[in-house]
Amino acid sequence: MISTTDFRNGMVVIINDTLMELVEFQHVKPGKGGAFVRTKLKNVITGRVVEKTFRAGERMEEARLVREPYQYSYSDGDLFHFMHRESYEQTPVGKDIVGDRKDWLKENQEIDLLFHGSEVIRLELPVTVELAVTKSEPGVQGDRAQGGTKPAELETGVMVQVPLFLNEGDVIKVDTRSGEYLERVSG
C-alpha cells in the first residue's frame, strides 16, 4: 500500500480494480480545511484520462508491473506473436493491446512487453525505428507548396511525410511517438 505522499509521475496504482497510471499530480494545502492531492490518471488499458482528487495521506495499492524483453515474430489477423529473447517462449498479444503501435512493428524487432501478473497490458516500442520506403512518388524540384515534403508508404503500411529527395528503397529513421521522419539511414 502506498500513500499520496509517495506519488510520482508514471507510477501505476490500482483504483476500483483498474490499473491507472499517474500522469500528473499536485499537492494542495488550502488556507482552510485539509490538504488534498489533485491528479490526472490514465487508464492503462483504454488510455482514457480522468481527473481525481484524493485526501492527503489516502492509501491505495500500487500495481507491480514487470517489463520483459521480447522480439516481434509475426501477426495472424487479430493476434500478434512475440518471442521472449531469453526463454524463446511465444506470447500472443491481441490487437486491442497492440493498437496503433502495429504501424511500427516489423519482424525480428526487439520490444518490451509490460506485464501485470501474467497478463500483457502494454507494448513498449523503441523511440525510433528504421523502415524502408516502399511507395513514394518522385519529388518534383521546385515544388515547395507542401514545405518540401511528400507522402511515402513504409514497409509496415504506414504513411509518413518525407523530404522530396527520398526514393523507394531508402531506409529511414522514424519517431514512433509522433510518426515524424527523422533521417535517412541508407541510400
Residues with Cβ within 8 Å of residue 46, at least 6 apart in sequence? none
Is the domain of 106 the same as that of 79?
Answer: yes
What is the distance in angstroms between the CA of the first residue and the CA of the last residue of the chain?
A: 54
Domain carrying residue 13 = 2-62
- Residue located via cell numbers 488550502: 30
pLDDT of 102 > 90? The answer is: no
- 182 and 157 in a common domain: yes
Residue 51's pLDDT band (cuts 50, 70, 90): very high
Query: How many domains are contained in the chain?
Result: 3
Percent of the chain with pLDDT over 70: 94
What's the pLDDT score for residue 45?
76
How much is the pTM?
A: 0.71
The enclosing domain of 26 has a CATH number of: 2.30.30.30
Residue type, 141: Q
Q: What share of the chain is helix, strand, coil (3-state, %, to 5)?
A: 5, 55, 40
Q: Average of pLDDT values for 136-162?
A: 78
Q: At 16, list the grid cell.
A: 476500483
Query: What's residue 19's pLDDT?
Result: 86
Across 78-82, average pLDDT: 90
Comparison of pLDDT for 100 and 175, the residue scoring more:
175
Same domain, 85 and 46: no
Cα–Cα dist 92/120, whole Å: 9
Residue 111 forms beta bridges with which residues? 70
In this predicted structure, what is the pLDDT of residue 144?
58
Are residues 42 and 78 located together in one domain of the fold? no
Residue 139 has pLDDT above 80, yes or no: no
CATH number at residue 76: 2.40.50.140
